[in-house]
Amino acid sequence: MPWIKAMDGTSLFYSEWGRGKPLLFLSSLGCSHDMWQYQFAALAQAGYRCIGFDRRGHGRSDRPSHGYDYDTLADDVAALVDHLDVRDLGLIAHSMAGGEVVRYVSRHGGARVDRIVLLAPTTPRLLGDDGVSARAVRANFETLWAQWMSDYPRWVEENLAPFFVPETSRPMMRWATGLLQASVPVAIACSRAMLEADLTQEMRGLEIPCLLIHGDRDRSVPVEVAGAPSAALLPDCRFLVYEGAPHGLMFTHMDRLHADMLQFLADE
């Protein structure tokens, strides 16, 4: 069965598609691994074994009332990697999941990992180093969480368009809302962990080759806030900025993304 047990007994769901070198996909905050369907189709066809994982509280995994800190989430990733006994692994992460990848490597080592792909990550530190700016960022997040607690579906609807580009079809946008498969308490708990994380030192010591891709039209996580600082910290990083790309670049720029990922994954 495609479930494993975390160290605290939480049941975690995963699925696989394709054969070949393993790629583990870690999803955005709130989303199930179904968000990677287009990447599964393209990369499995290119000869990769694509593994999707629902973090705790998301998709078909259990929803415990605890464990939404990066340490526990990284331990959950380790439980899956160890269960599958995969090596020469490619780790592919979007947004919040970038922090899970960094914490997994710093906490469990990178012996099983061959390549890392970070798409619009929230790393290294959303609060930054300036006290005044940090207080403003924290206040913005408190306002965000209040909106989620009041009317989460309305917030999703109002923020759907900036996640895509004007050319994105309305059916694609509606389909994407169905990928949000986490409760409001889980979403807030994960968002708090993401906000509080400082991965600066861990990223400096991450020696694994990385491909970091960020859009210059990302309103959720601006490239100057996360992508550029992250690329500057990583010792072995190929940094690509997609002109006109939003936070949902895996939907809006998929052909270019797939080509860049395949080239990077194939490099020796």
Catalytic residues: 95, 218, 247
Helix segments in the chain, DSSP class H: 37-45, 70-84, 97-108, 131-158, 170-177, 184-196, 200-204, 227-233, 249-252, 254-266
* Closest listed residue to residue 30, CA positions, set 2, 56, 12, 4: 56
Beta carbons of 124 and 254 less than 8 angstroms apart:
no
118 - beta bridge partners? 93, 212
CA distance 76 to 5: 9
The counts of H helices and E strands in the chain are 10, 8
First CA to last CA distance, the chain: 34
Q: Which residue has the tokens 């061959």?
A: 114
**C-beta neighbour count of 87 within 10 angstroms:** 12
